[in-house]
A and B are shown apart, each in its own frame.
Chain A
Amino acid sequence: MRGYLVLRVIAKLLIPFILVFGLYVQFHGDFGPGGGFQAGVIVAAAIIFHALIYGLPRTRLVVPEWVVETLVAAGLLLYIAVGIASMLMGGGFLDYSVLMHDPVHGQHRGILLVELGVGISVAGVMLMIFYMFAGRSRTPDSEK
């Protein structure tokens, strides 16, 4: 979309706000609506928007494929790590109450970390699926 000046400028203006909104939905999910799943797809949608306007090769420079691949696994690993951490600290698997001295604080901390894990994994998977689909082209040599 090289010629579409309006789209390019608007996208440049909008993408930071979409990303900040994604972070808001992520970390404010314990007070308002939202949480990991929603934040993950919003962040992924912002990056896909970037790819639609500026083209996949340039998005691959901003968010390389290995980063996305790492995110896919990192979110799930963070979730499991919280569970194992609560086991090591004397509770059951995913029993957040033992994470801090105060059980309520522990719960809060655990929920925040677990939701972050969900968000990272969902954003990674959404982006990865998009990269895989959009990266396939009719002619093999325009792949890069």
Chain B
Amino acid sequence: MTTTLINTALLLMMAATVIGIVRLRNLFAVVILGSLYSFLMATIFLVLDAVDVSMTEAAVGAGVTTVLLLSTLYLTKSEEAKPSHTPILPLAVALVTGGLLVYGTLGLPEFGSPDSVIHQHVAPRYLEQGPEETGVPNVVTAVLASYRGFDTLGEVTVVFTGGIGVIVLLRRRWRADRTRDHK
């Protein structure tokens, strides 16, 4: 009951934030509202007992991403251009896609249901054997680093590739600027 109340309040605040983001033209305010949205999302993850995800969302979504967007805003204009056409088609696409997604959730098993398919496959074994096999009480860590070590290696490779991509894209132009100045 309390959880439902907290979740409803948080989701309502998120909806209000999104409406604010859509209506505002000042991009600085939009970035700050985006940060607020991430913080609300992190709180919802916390209520759902997903503390690991919540930490990541608070640090990356609300913290680092906001700083990156602000540093980008510093280089560009901070006022959104007026749209040149009526937003009816994008609105229709968004409504139809959203409706289909909501329709899709109707086919999912009930939230938190122990009978759903993902809780029947390997999850029981991880929960029962994990602490003895790995000596790690936190099952999330055991699954992430040991049972699913290959997946995590893939994830780190993706993060690494992303970082290298940013270096390649942004630094080369920076060097070009410098050499042009020297001439």
Residues on A lying within 8 angstroms of B by beta carbon are 25, 29-38, 41-42, 44-45, 48, 52, 69, 72-73, 75-76, 79-80, 83, 93-94, 96, 103-105, 107-108, 110-111, 114-115, 117-118, 121-122, 124-126, 128-130, 132-138, 140-141, 143
The distance from the CB of B152 to the nearest CB of chain A, in whole angstroms, is 7
Number of interface residues of B (CB under 8 A): 47
B159 and A125 within 8 A (CB): yes
Given A29-B138, A30-B137, A126–B64 Cβ distance below 8 Å?
Answer: yes
- Roughly how many angstroms separate A38 CA and B60 CA in the complex, as a whole number? 9
A48 and B64 within 8 A (CB): yes
B163 / chain A contacts, CB cutoff of 8 Å: 72, 121, 124-125, 128-129
Identify which of residues 126-142 in chain B touch chain A, using a CB-to-CB cut-off of 8 Å. Answer: 132-138, 140-142
- Roughly how many angstroms separate A41 CA and B145 CA in the complex, as a whole number? 18
Give the nearest-CB partner of A32 in chain B: B138
The distance from the CB of A57 to the nearest CB of chain B, in whole angstroms, is 15
A29 and B160 within 8 A (CB): no
Given A41-B64, A52-B67, A35–B75 Cβ distance below 8 Å?
Answer: no
**B171 at the A/B interface (Cβ < 8 Å)?**
yes
Main secondary structure of the interface of A (DSSP, over half): helix
Give the nearest-CB partner of B162 in chain A: A125
B51 and A33 within 8 A (CB): yes
**B116 at the A/B interface (Cβ < 8 Å)?**
no
Besides A118-B152, A137-B75, 12 other CB < 8 A contacts? A29-B141, A31-B136, A33-B51, A35-B141, A45-B59, A75-B160, A108-B134, A114-B152, A129-B162, A129-B163, A133-B71, A136-B170
Give the nearest-CB partner of A68 in chain B: B163
B60 / chain A contacts, CB cutoff of 8 Å: 41, 126
Contact with A along B131-173 (1 / 0, CB 8 A): 0111111101110111001101101110110111011001100
Give the nearest-CB partner of B145 in chain A: A111
**B52 at the A/B interface (Cβ < 8 Å)?**
yes
A122 and B64 within 8 A (CB): no
The distance from the CB of A12 to the nearest CB of chain B, in whole angstroms, is 19
Can you identify 18 A-B contacts, CB atoms within 8 angstroms? A30-B136, A32-B138, A33-B51, A33-B138, A38-B55, A45-B63, A48-B63, A79-B156, A94-B153, A107-B134, A107-B136, A108-B136, A115-B141, A121-B163, A125-B163, A126-B64, A129-B163, A133-B72
- Roughly how many angstroms separate A83 CA and B149 CA in the complex, as a whole number? 9
**B174 at the A/B interface (Cβ < 8 Å)?**
yes
Given A31-B138, A122-B159, A129-B68, A104–B133 Cβ distance below 8 Å?
Answer: yes
A45 / chain B contacts, CB cutoff of 8 Å: 59, 63-64
**B8 at the A/B interface (Cβ < 8 Å)?**
no
- Roughly how many angstroms separate A34 CA and B63 CA in the complex, as a whole number? 17
B56 / chain A contacts, CB cutoff of 8 Å: 37-38, 41
Give the nearest-CB partner of B180 in chain A: A140
Given A72-B160, A76-B156, A111-B142, A105–B64 Cβ distance below 8 Å?
Answer: no
B55 and A34 within 8 A (CB): yes
Given A33-B52, A72-B163, A117–B170 Cβ distance below 8 Å?
Answer: no
